[in-house]
Amino acid sequence: MVSKTAAFSEPPRRNFIGRWLAADTLSGIKRQRAILGYLFLLPTIIGLVVFIVGPMIGSLALSFYKWNVFRAPEFIGFDNFERLFSDARILVGYRNTAILVVMTVTLLEVLAFTLAMLVNRIANRFLSTFFRTAYFLPVLLSGAATAVTLGYLFHYDFGVINYYLGFLGIEKIKWLTSSDVVLIAISLTTVWRNLGFTFIIYLGGIANLPTEVLEAAEVDGASGLRRIVRIVLPLLSPTILFATVTDIIKMLQFFDEPFIMTRGGPGDASRTVVMMMYESGFGNLEFGYASAIALSLFIVILGVTGVQFYLSKKWVFYR
């Protein structure tokens, strides 16, 4: 690094550092690499501390304060959390989120697994590429574009979905304006956009299974189904666990689709936890309370991750 001629003209202290860092000894190389290691980490560490670790601590601290930006923060102890636990609307938000998670994730896992099993045994390369592309395409769209598009398709009067359901003798459904079905409409929208993602994960998992296992499951009818349950599913359990947990965590943070399609309505029928956090923070400027809501969601997500960790040790079959 430091050339030998420079060492003569520089003051002795510099000379010492130069020698300390000299690349011509083994320990010099080691020291160089250690210093380089810290330097290389610096941008990432700074970024993560400023925008993730720091804010996480800030969020924790803020949840003990009452603050609306304009006045100085006021320490109120556990008041935000007491309010959180007695707030009936937050309960509704968690209920809606839970319904969405259960409905969406169940549909996603069952459909993605079925499609992946069926696509995997297609021998024709053109056909299998076609199906894979078809199922994957919606993943490219933004939640915003999906919400706008499917919002039109689900429209009561001029929506294409009600029009075609009419052919099946089904009466028009108030997909987005009735509190009984609005969560179903939003869940179907999300399934439409995320199916390709879950499908690709299952396809990868199935491709890694030994071929004899899949051949055994080829037999149609009851015996084939039993073999799928007894042999394929256990072998696939790492994939199933990964896909399910990823999907659950994604759905717990649900925002774009309900926010754009219904604004949480009718009433609070489709309001999710993240929407409530957004509204109390950026709508009502109750930053302390919003932080408490965010923190509660974080704890739920942490719990899901913990369950994943526990299950992966106990239940998942690793080959």
Partner 1 sequence: MASTNVISAPSQRMSSRRGFSYYQKQFGRIASMGFLIFMALLTLMPFLWVVSTSLRTPAQSFNLPPQWIPVDMDFTNYQRVFEEIPFWQQMANSFFITLSVVAGQLVTASLAGYAFGRLKFPGRNILFWVVLATMMIPGQATIIPVFIVISRVLHLNDQLGALIYPGIATAFGTFLLRQYFMGIPDDFEEAALVEGANQWQIFTKIYFPLASPGMAILAVLTFNAKWNDYFTPLIFMSTKERFPITLGIVDLQGYMATGSISVVLAGIVLSTIPVIIIYILGQRYLVEGLMMGGVKG
Question: Using the rule CB under 8 A, is 285 a contact of partner 1?
Answer: no
The region of 8-16, 97-105, 110-118, 172-180 touching partner 1 under the rule CB under 8 A is 110-118
Question: Using the rule CB under 8 A, is 106 a contact of partner 1?
Answer: no
- Interatomic CA distance for residues 181 and 169, integer angstroms: 18
User: What sections of 174-236 are H helices per DSSP?
Assistant: 182-207, 211-218, 222-227, 233-235
Question: Using the rule CB under 8 A, is 140 a contact of partner 1?
Answer: yes
- Region for residue 263 given its phi and psi (left: phi exceeds 0; alpha: psi -120 to 50; beta: otherwise): left
| Of the residues 2, 18, 22, 32, which one makes contact with partner 1 according to CB under 8 A | 32
Site residues for partner 1, 159-198, by CB under 8 A, read 160, 163, 192, 195-197
Structure tokens at 190: 């999300």
| Of the candidates 2, 49, 41, the residue with the CA atom closest to the CA atom of residue 23 | 2
| Of the residues 7, 22, 184, 200, which one makes contact with partner 1 according to CB under 8 A | 200
Each residue 37-56 as x (binds partner 1 by CB under 8 A) or -, in order, gives xx-xx-xxxxxx-xxxxxxx
The region of 90-98, 113-121, 175-183, 229-237 touching partner 1 under the rule CB under 8 A is 113-121
- Interatomic CA distance for residues 210 and 221, integer angstroms: 21
Question: Using the rule CB under 8 A, is 81 a contact of partner 1?
Answer: no
Task: Considering the complex, state which of residue 82 and residue 218 has its C-beta at the smaller distance from partner 1.
Answer: 218
Site residues for partner 1, 203-262, by CB under 8 A, read 204, 215-216, 218-221, 223-224, 246, 249, 252-253, 255-256, 260
CA 42 to chain centre: 27
The region of 8-16, 76-84, 109-117, 169-177 touching partner 1 under the rule CB under 8 A is 109-117
Using CB under 8 A as the binding criterion, the count of chain residues that bind partner 1 stands at 95
Site residues for partner 1, 298-317, by CB under 8 A, read 298, 301-302, 305
Structure tokens at 152: 């039109």
Question: Using the rule CB under 8 A, is 152 a contact of partner 1?
Answer: yes
DSSP-assigned letters across all residues of 230-261: IIIHHHTHHHHHHHHHHHHHHHHT--HHHHHH
- Interatomic CA distance for residues 266 and 277, integer angstroms: 18
CA 139 to chain centre: 13
